[in-house]
A and B are shown apart, each in its own frame.
Chain A
């Protein structure tokens, strides 16, 4: 949402609160909700793509080389990628959840 929209009066809100700019949820950066960040260890990765499939916010994209790339603008830090990672079975999850405070 833009600062212009934030100043909308009730008369300026479209009828039924319709968003006339569809697909605009990508403008809403949910990464700010995160308290923990998944940190990727490429050496553990077998390029299975399970993290990409399980991510509930589509915040993981696969690089052309077949590795996951976390979109930190949207990742809420739920940790599902770290838990579901096949390599986690062997105690070698590709992702370690690290407190955001560590990055400040």
Chain B
């Protein structure tokens, strides 16, 4: 029977990996992800989790090791953040191209330089196009649940793709929150045994991770792209089955008080909680403001987002990373291209907030909305966005 327990979110994530009965964990410690793999190493050392824990000398090796273990048919997990994700970068693309259902949590942290151990989304945005399924979670329960969901979906033979669960470093990873855990029987029922499509097997040898001449590369990439887009069906199925098991329902796009809202804020990750408090306050003052939260980043839930944003006159897109020199920042760019053909086209305002751990307060969201209410019309000049809180 499920029970509610208070624990650090990182520990809950590790417990979810244990419940998923991972076979191989290869990881290198890096702040703010360390507590996840630290706890997993304890679980393995204490005999509570029957898994191979591979101590590697870098994240490049960590990702390489789980590519190998997943190819051998082992349920494989790793976790990282920031520089660690950057060091994994080249192997990320290999894992997705080889269609290996590795699950990884990224405790999102700013990229150096200057060196910052604190939270933003610059790490994952630099690896955005790696071909993995990418979730963003808002609180500890979602983080715990999505480790299980990620395994369930990734290993489905209809998908066979790796998945990243993004959880904000420190502001989520290090919080102590109430979690409703699953028991072993429930987890086993939810995640069937891993049955890989291809497996390294001496009795039935195949070559994996080989090279492709120009005769094949385009077709391989097309197959990979279609697989990631099609994974949405299984992601929805995974959420549906999870709701039947636990009563906790998840969707690609969630809305909060969007009915009758002229202005919508759009956020990803833990800031959604703060933004929802801001929405409550502004609604109390009679302002027509709502919140849209993007839980699924890849495959991008275009239809759901169009539906959720439809009807709003102004949309404020929160980015947690700068795309240097770009027309606009990563999330805003995606939303703007999605809404280009809508009639009437809403005004889009882009706010970059919470870089490198800069605190984001309820008042910041109120100020952003206030400015948007008075603001100009879209499209603005290239590179027109607000860097919230920057000292001029």
Is there an interface contact between B219 and A16, defined as CB atoms closer than 8 Å?
no
Is there an interface contact between A16 and B98, defined as CB atoms closer than 8 Å?
yes
Interface check B208, CB cutoff 8 A: yes
Given contacts A14-B198, A16-B97, A17-B212, contact A22 B207 (CB under 8 A): yes
CB-CB contacts of A4-39 with B at 8 A, as 1s and 0s? 001011110111111111111100000000000000
Q: Bound state CA distance, A16 and B97, in angstroms? A: 6
Closest to A19 in B: B207
Cβ 8 A contact of A17, one of B160, B205, B210, B226: B210
Is there an interface contact between A15 and B206, defined as CB atoms closer than 8 Å?
no
Is there an interface contact between B213 and A1, defined as CB atoms closer than 8 Å?
yes
Chain A residues lying within 8 Å of B100, measured Cβ to Cβ, are 16
Is there an interface contact between B198 and A10, defined as CB atoms closer than 8 Å?
no
Is there an interface contact between B97 and A22, defined as CB atoms closer than 8 Å?
no
Chain B residues lying within 8 Å of A13, measured Cβ to Cβ, are 216, 219-220, 223
Q: Bound state CA distance, A22 and B218, in angstroms? A: 22
Please give the number of chain A residues whose Cβ is less than 8 angstroms from any Cβ of chain B in the complex.
19
Chain A residues lying within 8 Å of B222, measured Cβ to Cβ, are 10
Cβ 8 A contact of A18, one of B208, B213, B216: B208
Is there an interface contact between B207 and A16, defined as CB atoms closer than 8 Å?
no
Cβ 8 A contact of A19, one of B210, B219, B226: B210
Compute the total of residue contacts between A and B using a CB distance below 8 Å. 57
Is there an interface contact between B99 and A16, defined as CB atoms closer than 8 Å?
yes
Please give the number of chain B residues whose Cβ is less than 8 angstroms from any Cβ of chain A in the complex.
23
Q: Bound state CA distance, A9 and B201, in angstroms? A: 27
Chain B residues lying within 8 Å of A18, measured Cβ to Cβ, are 198, 206-208
Interface check B327, CB cutoff 8 A: no
Cβ 8 A contact of B160, one of A8, A11, A16, A25: A16
Q: Bound state CA distance, A16 and B98, in angstroms? A: 4
Cβ 8 A contact of B205, one of A1, A22, A25: A22
Chain B residues lying within 8 Å of A22, measured Cβ to Cβ, are 205-207
CB-CB contacts of B215-240 with A at 8 A, as 1s and 0s? 11011101100110000000000000
Q: Bound state CA distance, A22 and B99, in angstroms? A: 18
Interface check B197, CB cutoff 8 A: yes
Closest to A6 in B: B215
How near does chain A come to B387, taking the closest CB pair, in angstroms?
42
Closest to A22 in B: B205
Within 8 A of A (CB), among B267-317: none
Q: Bound state CA distance, A8 and B210, in angstroms? A: 17
Chain A residues lying within 8 Å of B97, measured Cβ to Cβ, are 16-17
Chain A residues lying within 8 Å of B212, measured Cβ to Cβ, are 17
Cβ 8 A contact of A16, one of B198, B215, B216: B198
Chain B residues lying within 8 Å of A20, measured Cβ to Cβ, are 206
Cβ 8 A contact of B220, one of A17, A21, A24: A17
Is there an interface contact between A17 and B213, defined as CB atoms closer than 8 Å?
no
CB-CB contacts of B166-204 with A at 8 A, as 1s and 0s? 000000000000000000000000000000011000000
How near does chain A come to B221, taking the closest CB pair, in angstroms?
8
How near does chain A come to B50, taking the closest CB pair, in angstroms?
27
Cβ 8 A contact of A8, one of B98, B207, B219, B226: B219
Cβ 8 A contact of A15, one of B99, B210, B218: B99
Extra contacts besides A15-B198, A17-B223, A19-B208 (18): CB < 8 Å: A1-B213, A6-B215, A8-B216, A10-B218, A10-B220, A13-B219, A14-B198, A16-B98, A16-B99, A16-B160, A17-B98, A17-B210, A18-B198, A18-B208, A19-B206, A19-B210, A24-B207, A25-B207
Q: Which residues of A contact B (CB under 8 A)?
A: 1, 6, 8-11, 13-25
Could you pull out 14 A-B pairs where Cβ atoms are within 8 angstroms? A10-B219, A10-B223, A13-B223, A15-B223, A15-B227, A16-B99, A16-B160, A16-B197, A16-B208, A17-B220, A18-B206, A18-B207, A18-B208, A23-B205
Q: What 6 pairs across the A-B complex have the smallest Cβ distances?
A: A16-B99, A19-B207, A10-B222, A10-B219, A22-B205, A16-B98
